[in-house]
Structure 1
Amino acid sequence: MDQTTIAWPRKTRELHNHHMDSTAWNDFRFRDDDVIVGTYGKSGTTWTQQIVGQLVFKGATDVPIHEISPWWDMRVIPPQARQAVEAQTHRRIIKTHLPVDALLFSPKAKYLYVGRDGRDVLWSLYNHHANANQLWYDVLNDTPGRVGPPIERPDPDIRRYFRTWLEQDGQPFWSFWDNISSWWAVRQLPNVKLVHFARLKADLAGEMREIADFLDIDIPDAQWPKVVEHCTFDYMKAHAEEMAPMGGRVFEGGAKTFINKGVNGRWHDVLSPAESLAYERMAVEKLGPDCARWLMTGEE
């Protein structure tokens, strides 16, 4: 692909709510080797950050990924956390939950976008929301600068929670379809790679090899087993304090609640066939058949 003729994505809007403030990117000073991990949320974000961190640091055991790889567009990040990123001398790993058109995009950075079937996303999102403690609500709702209504405690009925999320375009969070479709539209760019939760589950080592190749990272064969082991769910669960935001202090049960189950399909025995079909039909309507198939299966 001739990079001189590429129409690179441009930022055309801002997104603000209880969680995010997209203006945080407007004065971000990119480095040419930055790695941006993007997702809607609860799609394998932390998993992919851990993978990149282990590739960058060659399997080190003392990599607090939640500290070195912040969610840049989260509005309540303290200034010192942003300053710490700017002071980093290693290859930086930054997280975003923005759609492409609300993100400042660099032709030089590398972008990994992680997808997951929306029903699995919702189940993980519900666990995240239902286990948030009062500190979580205080930080999000009471920190100055919030735009829009506060986030409230979730509906105790997960099926109603799912239907609200589906029928009201991602409420109480943000649009799922806008996020997915914006990244799908730029998947052919030379510095964008799609990653899928189901493929990571099926072949972690193989998918990690592809990510390493995309990022131009060479891991010696002798170190490779350790790098992969540090990205397994069991390892991440055992080291949850290094993965979870604020070390897990904003969740009932702490960091191990944030690193929950790492499985798909929990919705199968809960949603009715009609509810599941409504999701599948909306996915095709909003995304088109090719993207909807990728989102469900990981197959392009």
Structure 2
Amino acid sequence: MASTHTSAAASSTMPTKTRDIHNHHMDSTVWDDLKFRPDDIIISTFPKAGTTWTQQITCQLLHAGDEKVAPNALSPWVELRVVPRAQMLQMLEAQESRRFMKTHLPIDALVFNPKAKYIFCGRNGRDSMWSWHNHLFAATDMFYQLFNDNPGRVGPALRRPSDDPRDMFMQLLQDEMDPELGWQFWGHILGWWEVRSLPNVLLIHYNDLKADLDGEMRRIAKFLEIPEMSPEQWKAAVEHCTFDWMKAHADLAAPQQAEMAWKEGAASFIHKGTNGRWKDILSEDDNRRYLERARKELGEECAQWLENGRLQGAVKLD
């Protein structure tokens, strides 16, 4: 059973790695051998909570709105088990431009470097579940073979979910995510929330990016200490981070194997970008139980932030 947390007070203590995670997707030990650089950027999320969007934003900020730069080629998922460790580390070591790496690890399984900058993007848990369900349900048999048949897998195989996303949602109410479908949710969110006051950590939210993309990009640019762009470059950067533009250029952000891994290729990976698909499916009791569980696991302030974001939730983060 998931542990109960009653405090969401921010910590100023630098986190330390206390465990490793091995499953069908991840091998957290890869981070142990990464040679950090002082200007590294690490983008962290729970799956389907704005990861690709944050990568695109970071890429556009680092490359002054250049539409030809593809984040899928520059921003690897470091602990992704299907890429051999030596190949991943060699690729990162060879990268000459400022690195921005992706992780889906909870903070207690991640090597935390005080000189690197960490961006954590949150999203309402119900929206994450609906998007995660689509991601797994739309995957091909080859996708599952890639993860399950790759040597060194620890734990159960990844399996395709049922056709009803509510089944995945119910796991959040009953206990935790089934390891055959994903990984823990509540502790993942809370771990990053509790280090939000560290100077090298920035929390952003999916809802806030939708509500004020320009403003949130400026907030991210300030945090990353991005050199000032010309007005034309900035306008281009923001345009290239809109969902419509990303959907039209999905091949730049989706994994290179997308055409084989999802039934509609990159179009499945960059899917809808919308929230609230659960509203016509979940009952009033479902939603009440979800909000109660969120408050129990995360505390009132963190639960409010996860539900609404910083702008609508009036939660002060900086």
Sequence identity percentage: 51
CA distance in 2, matches of 1:50, 1:229: 11
1:117 to 99, 115, 124: 124
Structure 1 CA distance for aligned equivalents of residues 237 and 257 of structure 2 = 22
Residues 1:176 and 2:182 aligned together: no
Q: Secondary structure at the match of 2:232?
A: coil
Corresponding residue number in structure 2 for 1:3: none
TM-score w.r.t. the length of structure 1 is 0.95
Q: Answer yes or no: is 1:100 the counterpart of 2:107.
A: yes
Q: 1:297, CA displacement in angstroms?
A: 0.7
Quote how far apart the aligned CAs of 1:222 are: 2.5
- TM-superposed CA distance for 1:247, in Å, is 4.4
Q: Distance in 1 between matches of 2:298 and 2:172?
A: 17
Q: Does 1:167 align with 2:174?
A: yes
- Per the TM alignment, residue 215 of structure 1 is displaced from its structure 2 partner at its CA by 0.4
Deviation by residue 1:24-76 (Cα, 9 ceiling, x = unmatched): 10111110000100001101000000000000011112212112101111111
- For the pair 1:126 / 2:133, whether they are aligned, the reply is yes
Runs of 5+ consecutive residues of structure 2 not aligned to the other structure:
1-11
Matched, 1:225 2:232: no
* Structure 2 residue 249 is matched with structure 1 residue 239: yes
In the alignment, what sits opposite 2:272? 261
Counterparts of 2:199 and 2:132 in 1: how far apart (Å)? 31
1:71 corresponds to which letter in structure 2? W
1:75 maps onto 2:81 in alignment: yes
TM-superposed CA distance for 1:192, in Å, is: 0.3
Give the whole-Å Cα distance in 1 for the aligned partners of 2:174 and 2:98: 40
Letter in 2 for 1:186: V
Please state how far the C-alpha of 1:155 moved relative to its aligned partner.
1.2
How many residue pairs match? The answer is 295
- Quick one: higher RCO (CA 8 Å, sep 6+), 1 or 2? 2
**Partner Cα distance (2:89, 2:254) in 1:** 17
Maintained 8 Å contact 1:69/1:92: yes
Aligned mates of 1:162, 1:57 — CA distance in 2: 38
Offset, 1:253: 0.5
1:162 positional shift: 1.7
- The answer as to whether partners of 1:241 and 1:247 remain within 8 angstroms in 2 is no
Provide Cα deviations, 1:126-149, integer angstroms capped at 9, x if missing partner: 110100101110111000111101
Show the 5 A alignment for 1:146-295. 146-171=153-178, 172-217=181-226, 218-249=228-259, 250-295=261-306
Following TM superposition, where does structure 1 have runs of at least 4 consecutive aligned residues deviating by more than 6 angstroms? none
| Mapped contact 1:10–1:104 kept (Cα < 8 A) | yes
Q: Distance in 2 between matches of 1:192 and 1:102?
A: 16
SS of 1:223's equivalent?
Answer: helix
Q: Which moved more, 1:176-185 or 1:243-252?
A: 243-252
Match of 2:151 among 144, 148, 156: 144
Contact 1:20 1:75 (8 Å CA) reproduced = yes
Q: Per the alignment, in what secondary structure is the counterpart of residue 114 of structure 1?
A: strand
Cα contact 2:172–2:290 (8 A) shared by 1: no
- Cα shift readout 1:168-203 (whole Å, capped 9, x = no counterpart): 412221110111000001000000000000000000
TM-score of the aligned structures, taking structure 2 as reference length:
0.90
How big is the alpha-carbon RMSD for the aligned residues of Structure 1 and Structure 2?
Answer: 1.2
SS of residue in 2 equivalent to 1:261: coil
Measured in 1, the distance between the counterparts of 2:117 and 2:223 equals 8
